[in-house]
Structure 1
């Protein structure tokens, strides 16, 4: 019994079989999602305090060995 692989679908959300209106609607939807992510990223970045000590690089503390 020979198993033939099924044709793989493209991972792209845009498919060749879609009508031009469906492609346009999907592109619009994806564009809105990109804008929403950009706005959320700006809000998140504005909440971060650039002067917070946890965000500043601090070199590791050197532990000097005590003489025995």
Structure 2
């Protein structure tokens, strides 16, 4: 049987052992990433057409009961 791999822990964005300069750099990097995601979200939102009929909710068609 092959050994079961240990689950990986995701790297923590900020560690207590990091130097203040590393913490500051990491925070700046995370801030830039947040800004880039916000810009991308805005661009994607402007491309969506709110009047597109395929996105509107349409209730399912009711089928009339057939007489028995």
TM-score (norm 1): 0.78
Distance (whole Å) between structure 2 residues aligned to residue 19 and residue 12 of structure 1 = 14
Question: Secondary structure, in 3 states, of the residue corresponding to 1:16?
Answer: coil
Match of 1:61 in 2: 61
Structure 1, unmatched stretches of 5+, are 1-8
Please identify runs of 4+ aligned residues in structure 1 that moved more than 4 A: none
TM-score (norm 2): 0.78
Aligned pairs for 1:1-68 (under 5 A) are 12-68=12-68
Q: Distance in 1 between matches of 2:22 and 2:61?
A: 59
Quick one: structure 1 residues 10 and 61, their matched pair in 2 at CA, closer, same or farther if it must change by over 3 Å? closer
Aligned alpha-carbon RMSD (Å): 1.8
- 11-20 or 32-41, which moves further after superposition? 11-20
Equivalents in 2 of 1:11, 1:41: separation in Å? Answer: 25
